[in-house]
Amino acid sequence: MIKITLESRRDAAALHTFLTERLPKEIAVSVTDETFIVELPSGLSGTFKEALTDALTDFIIEKHESRWMDDILCKTFYYQDEAERASILGIARAIFDGLKPELPKVDSLLPRRDFVRAVIDDLLSGPSSFSLQSLTTFRLNDYFECLTNCLEIAIDEYKLQQEYAAFIDKLRRIVKSYRPLRETIYAIDCEPFRLYDEHLRPIDNLQTIRSFYPLLRQWGIDAEPSLLLTLIGLAPLKVYVFTERPDDEMMRTLQNVFEERVQFFALEQAKKIDL
């Protein structure tokens, strides 16, 4: 017999519902107050043990992990704003779901499910009685360390996203505050990039346009000349960009800054209008 004491009868009932849907019918489960009881037909071994270990592991991760990570954000990293914590938790869940492999240090994270499963497997080596509270306090240290490491990565990514959002907002305000030097710009994404006005005439002397880069420094932006910053200097009402990399980071930034002003086309389409 296995007895698991949870924090409330409600939690015990939730575990009962969760395991009933996942365990073989030969395993009898019941709830008495805050205690969840598992009765086995012929001892806990083989298939029954595997099924119960996997089910309890899934229950802990699916039902408790988000709350535990939220507690870590509050108590370890001192994030008190609920919206900020929700954003960071969203990034952390994406990391665990394998959706953020490009982030630094993600590949160093150990599989946290293995930590939980190893502890459960050890506890179920024979008839046992334990509480979820004791499990989290004394047995899941490696698991919580993994959660903390993941949250550190998520926090770094969240801060970068906030900095990027502030940068984009500043560039938008620059564009909106300047009188357009051109109504329409056709931009050819090549090396070096080429710009044409609404009459398809080349725009030359790009570096002298509006003495733009000193102005950028007044806004707190110190950057090298680029297609993005030159277009911001021209502040056109419409931008048609011909490129083979519409999903590139710079192109996404162009989209975020100019919003509905910008449209992207395949590079080969520039030839159709003699550019």
Helices and strands (H, E) in the chain, number of each type: 9, 8
- Token pair in block for residue 12: 């015990």
Say what the pLDDT of residue 22 is: 86
Q: How do residues 44-75 score in pLDDT, each as one tens digit?
A: 667 888 888 999 999 999 999 999 999 999 99
Say yes or no to pLDDT of 254 above 90.
Answer: yes
Q: What is the mean pLDDT of residues 107-124?
A: 93
Q: Of 204, 208, 207, which is closest to residue 224 (Cα–Cα)?
A: 207
**In Å, what is the CA distance from 155 to each residue of 20, 79, 100, 160?**
37, 10, 13, 9
3-state secondary structure of 5: strand
Contacts of residues 140-146 at CB distance under 8 Å and 24 or more positions apart, as own/partner, are 140/115, 140/116, 142/110, 142/115, 143/112, 143/115, 143/116, 143/119, 144/68, 144/72, 146/109, 146/110, 146/112, 146/115
Neighbours of 13 (CB within 10 A): 14
CB 65 within 8 A of CB 136: no
Token pair 């334990």 is at which residue? 130
Instruction: Pick left, alpha or beta for residue 111 (phi over 0 → left; psi -120 to 50 → alpha; otherwise beta).
Output: beta
Which residues, 6 or more positions from 88, have their beta carbon under 8 angstroms from its beta carbon? 73, 79, 151, 154, 155, 158
Say yes or no to pLDDT of 76 above 80.
Answer: yes
Beta strands in the chain (DSSP E): 2-5, 28-32, 35-39, 128-131, 184-188, 194-196, 238-243, 262-266
Of the candidate ranges 9-23, 177-191, 207-221, 236-250, the one whose mean pLDDT is the lowest: 207-221
Q: What is the mean pLDDT of residues 123-128?
A: 78
Q: How do residues 130-169 score in pLDDT, each as one tens digit?
A: 888 899 889 999 999 999 999 999 999 999 999 999 989 9
Say yes or no to pLDDT of 189 above 80.
Answer: yes
Q: Which domains does the chain possess?
A: 2-171 (no CATH), 178-273 (3.30.420)
Say what the pLDDT of residue 68 is: 97
Say yes or no to pLDDT of 179 above 80.
Answer: yes
Q: What is the mean pLDDT of residues 206-211?
A: 56
Say yes or no to pLDDT of 40 above 70.
Answer: no
Q: Are strands 238-243 and 262-266 parallel, antiparallel or unpaired?
A: parallel
pTM summary value: 0.84
Q: Sheet holding 35-39: strands in order across? A: 28-32, 35-39, 2-5, 128-131
Q: How far apart are CA 192 and CA 75, in angstroms?
A: 51
Q: What is the mean pLDDT of residues 71-90?
A: 97
Say what the pLDDT of residue 128 is: 77
pLDDT confidence bin for 252, thresholds 50/70/90: very high
pLDDT confidence bin for 226, thresholds 50/70/90: confident
Q: Of 121, 106, 4, 129, which is closest to residue 64 (Cα–Cα)?
A: 4
Q: How do residues 161-177 score in pLDDT, each as one tens digit?
A: 999 999 899 889 888 88
